[in-house]
Structure formats: C-alpha cells, structure tokens
Amino acid sequence: MARECMVCKKKPMTGNRISNSRVHTKRRWLPNLQKVRVQMEGGVRRIRVCTRCIRTGKITKSISRMQTDTQSRPLST
C-alpha cells in the first residue's frame, strides 16, 4: 500500500535495465505519487495520489484555511 495511488490503484512496475553489454538487471518504475489534501467522506483526508489522477480531476482538492482567510479579508490599501 505504500507506493500505490489511492484512486486508480497504480503500483510500481518491474522490468529490466539493459546495459551496453546486454546484461539484464531487474529494476522498478515508480509512479509519481503526491500527498494531497482531499475532500472525501464528509471530511478532509491526506492521501497519496498519482499526478495523472490530479490532472484529470478525479479528486477534489480541499481548500486550506489560509486560502479561505485571505479570500474573506479585504485588501489593505
């Protein structure tokens, strides 16, 4: 569960690293996971989501308190 997208279940892939002498060595490709604050189940949770899910809009990000405070206050002149 450590390196898995909570939305699309994307996991690390395995394959071979092939050197110039054609020696095959095992390697892993890791998904690009980011920790994101997300609105889900009536509250805010911090989950690990891949960047593909963030870009396509499969999640709804929560608004931080700092953003809501600055939006409600008028700008000083």
pTM of the complete model beyond 0.85 = no
Q: 13-65: what CATH class? A: mainly beta
Greater confidence, 71 or 51? 51
- The confidence score (pLDDT) of residue 40 equals 83
- The confidence score (pLDDT) of residue 68 equals 62
The Cα–Cα gap between 35 and 67 comes to 18
Whether the per-residue pLDDT at 64 is higher than 80: the answer is no
CB pairs under 8 A, 24+ apart, for 63-67?
A: 64/37
Question: Which tens digit of pLDDT belongs to each residue from 1-44?
Answer: 689 999 999 999 999 999 999 999 999 999 999 999 998 888 89
Minimal CA–CA distance to 62: which of 48, 47, 44? 44
- The confidence score (pLDDT) of residue 69 equals 63
